[in-house]
Structure 1
Amino acid sequence: MSYTLDKRVEGEFDEVIEQTTDALADEGFGVLCDIDIQQAFKTKLDKEYRQYRILGACNPPLAHQALEEELQLGTLLPCNVVVYETDDGEVGVSAVDPEVMLSVVDNPELDKIAADVREQFERVLNELPNA
């Protein structure tokens, strides 16, 4: 079972970051953190790495609803969306599958929230141009 929703995207890396951020915003998600793995590995390890950014996405109303149901759920938040350079030089975008992620929490009250977030992430990916 895959734990991500994935798409190959047409465009330059920085352009795809902007398009992804905009598509997330259209679905009510803000990006709380933007982790540049390439830069972190260069700075901390003196290692070269492909372009790879982790966008910590949060939809505040859904996060509030989920945390009201399961206080420790914050350990699984925010929902990560990654934009990365593939082995063949294309750009990929992957979002965590919230239904899979929340399946580790034994709380059926979260099932609808997870399904809603999954639908939103699918719409985000569908907004991005196909490679």
Structure 2
Amino acid sequence: MRYDRTVRLDTDFATAVGRVREALAAQGFGILTEIDVTATLKAKLGRAAEDMEDYVILGACNPPLAHRALDTDRTVGLLLPCNVVVRADGDRTAVQALDPDTMVTLTGLEALRPVAEEAGRRLDAALASLTAPDPA
């Protein structure tokens, strides 16, 4: 079972992070948290993490969708498709989001399907905008 939605960009890591923030905002997602995994692991593990690629987790939230999901099941907060990973992937940058259908699959709650579908449409639109050609 795939649980991610991934695109790969031919751009540097820092540029990709900025573009991901903009793409998510355009789809109604705000960034609540940002975890620089690379810096955190280096700080906590020192040399053991020296080879870690650039890796950031953006905690994105669409409040209306989160509210609808939590009204259905308070425990679903564990599965909300909030984390978006941006990481160096060779000479490219990978952008990954949790597939919102995971909420329905793991809980078996069909009442979450409309929320998952809307979240999926919004995430897909954000990811697609990252790979669309620049209008020149």
TM-score, normalization by structure 1: 0.92
**1:19 corresponds to 2:26:** no
Counterpart pick for 1:79 among 74, 78, 82: 82
Count of aligned pairs between the two proteins: 130
Once residues 98 and 53 of structure 1 are traced to their aligned partners in structure 2, the CA distance between those partners, rounded to angstroms, is 20
* Number of the residue aligned with 2:115: 113
What corresponds to 2:55 in structure 1? 52
CA deviation profile, 1:66-111 (whole Å, cap 9, x unmatched): 111111112223611100011x221110111010243111211100
Find out whether 1:98 has 2:100 as its counterpart: yes
Give the share of equivalent positions with the same residue, in percent.
38
Using the TM superposition, name which of 73-82 and 52-61 deviates more. Answer: 73-82
Match of 1:9 in 2: 9
Structure 1 ranges of 4+ moved more than 6 A: none
| Cα distance between partner residues in 1 of 2:102 and 2:76 | 14
Secondary structure of 1:28's aligned partner: coil
What secondary structure sits across from 1:104 in the alignment? Answer: helix
Pairwise CA RMSD: 1.6
Determine the C-alpha separation between the residues in 1 that align with 2:25 and 2:125.
12
